[in-house]
Structures are given as C-alpha cells and as structure tokens.
Structure 1
C-alpha cells in the first residue's frame, strides 16, 4: 500500500512539473538594437516633461555610419520602428509651431547638415513608408564632430535658454536639434 502511495505521489509530481513547463511563457531574447527613451527634464522624479523620444539603439559593429544611415536618404532615427517623439507642450522646430502630441521623428543625414523631420506618421516600422506630405515641420541643422566615437546611436536632451536641444550622436557625428518655446 505504501509503495502505491509513493508511486502515485511521484507520478503526480511529474505531471505537475510537466504541466507547469507547458504553460510557461517564452520570452524573446534581448533585441540587438534595444529600445530606449530620452526625455527633458531628464530627472525621472520630474513628471512634468516637455519632450520625450522613444527609439532603438543600433550599434556600429565595425560597420560604417554612412551604410547604416545613408546621406541624402530619409532615416528612421535609430533601428526597427521609426523614432516616436512626444511633445507635452507646443514647441517650435525652426519657424514652425508644432502642437503638443505624438509624432514620428525622421532625419535625412548629410555630410555637413542633417534635416530633422517631424511627421504625422505613427506606428511605422523603419522609414520605408515615409510620406513627405505627412511632414509637420522640417529643419536643417549643422553636423559637428565629437572627440570620441559612440558605438551605439544615442539621443540626449539639454536645456537651452530658448527651450531644449535634442542631441543625436553616433560614431563621431553629432547633431543638435533645437526645440524652442
């Protein structure tokens, strides 16, 4: 009688173990270009944000920047989905007033200047379906060179006397996009 009880208990344990494994959630591996976000103010304690961008961070991995973000072509500003820009207050990009809301942020890289583009497109993968007719604002900004090379594409915000500057950096390329109030 005792043997049947032990066998029954072991069988039940295996059955439970098997049922738990078949119901376990499979989680994807880490993305090669992980999603990130930058916002201003940068403090996570400050919930009164002016601007935020969500983007993916591609790596150079011994590739050239002009192959990953070709000059003269619309680029999604990162990897995977196009970068998503949220303005929590109306702001100016150049001479164009942009209403508070969520947009796609594209750029057109160039050797001496990049064109920053705010578009009404939303939920877009890459820049394959970019439509110039959906542009809300465009601004050409100069390219500068950084002292150190950045392996991963990066975005950071900095307060400016007239608003906030969104800094884009990858390899030695640096671009500052001014948003004014």
Structure 2
C-alpha cells in the first residue's frame, strides 16, 4: 500500500512539474509606444459611438516631431501599426462621404499644412505599404503651434456645431481634422 501511494505521489508531482514547465510563457516588456484609443462621444458611458481611432503613442524623448514624422512623406500616425479609424455612421471629411467601416488614417506632414488621409487598407504595419489608389478621402488642414509641449503623441475628439473635430497634438504641433455628420 505504501509503495502504491509513493508511486502515485511521484507520478502526480512529475505530471504537475511537467505541465508547469510546458505552459511557462515569456511575456515581453511593456511597449515603448503603447496603443491607445480615442472616440466620440468621448464618455465611456456612451456606447453609441460615431467614430473611434486606435493608434500607438510614441514619446518625443528629446527628439523633434519633424524627424519622427518627416515632411512630405506619408506617416502612419503614431508608431508601430498604422492608425485605424472606425466610423459607425456615414461621415464626411471635407466634401467626401465616408461610409461606415474601418479604415487606415494617415497624415502627410508639411510646414504649414498637413494632409489627412482615409484609406481602405487595414491591418497595416507603418506606412511602408501605403497605396494611394486605396485612398477614400483627403483633406489639407492647417498646422498650428501651441503650448505646452505634448510629450506623448495624443488624439482627442470634441464636437463643434455639426462637426466632430479630431485634435492631434505632439510636441508643439496641433492639428484639427474636422468630420461632419
């Protein structure tokens, strides 16, 4: 009887040890540019969203926005994967109607103006595979300078009359992308 108990105990210990080592997983450190999401309406209590954008938030860390988002080049908006924007109702960017769905949101930085781009490609890393033929809408928007310096790339929404404004801030750069309902 004692031999059976000893064998059972050893078998159980071996099985437990083996299963613990086979399910062990190494997890990476926190991303240096964590993903974030901004939506309108902004209240988490309001589930009836009109628009939502998912993007990564790089930090300046003493670098210049112009080095991280070079002028006249398509920029993924943030870091890592290209930002994805979802519309839950028909909206307009400029005069272009955007149907409900998920799109990639790009920007082309300029000295005084930036170009906002809605593109049908999704699940894209960076802007390496950007295809202008898949653009749904483009709008040139003025770039402004503001204080204080925004260290982490940030996006927020607000409402103004019949518009939903997407505010983008990084460093001293401030952009407002207006969507109309």
- TM > 0.5: yes
Once the two structures are TM-superposed, the CA of residue 124 in structure 1 deviates from its matched residue by: 0.9
How far off is 1:113 after superposition?
1.0
Q: How does 1:29-44 map to 2 (within 5 A)?
A: 29-44=29-44
2:145 matched to which residue of 1? 145
Aligned-partner Cα distance in 1 for 2:96–2:8: 75
Could you tell me which residue of structure 2 aligns to residue 164 of structure 1? 164
Q: Which residue of 2 aligns with 1:57?
A: 57
Aligned equivalents of 1:21, 1:30: Cα separation in 2: 24
Match of 2:73, SS state, is: coil
Q: Distance in 2 between matches of 1:8 and 1:129?
A: 58
Give me the whole-angstrom Cα distance separating, in 2, the residues matched to 1:151 and 1:14: 52
In structure 1, how many angstroms separate the alpha carbons of the residues matched to 2:63 and 2:13?
Answer: 52
CA distance in 1, matches of 2:9, 2:51: 59
Q: How does 1:71-86 map to 2 (within 5 A)?
A: 71-86=71-86
Using the size of structure 1 for normalisation, the TM-score is: 0.91
Q: Secondary structure at the match of 1:19?
A: helix
Output the aligned Cα RMSD: 1.9
Question: Structure 1 residues 1-10 or 65-74, which shifts more?
Answer: 1-10
- Paired residues, number: 181
Structure 2 unaligned segments of length 5 or more: list them.
none
The alpha carbon displacement at 1:137 in A equals 0.6
Unmatched 5+ residue regions in structure 1? Answer: none
1:64: Cα distance to partner? Answer: 1.3
Please report how far the alpha carbon of residue 5 of structure 1 lies from its aligned counterpart in structure 2 after TM superposition. 6.4
2:114 corresponds to: 114
What TM-score, normalized by structure 2, do the two folds share? 0.91
Question: Match of 2:126?
Answer: 126
Q: Output the CA distance in 1 between the equivalents of 2:50 and 2:42.
A: 10
TM-fit CA distance, 1:13:
3.6
Cα drift, residue 78 of structure 1: 0.7
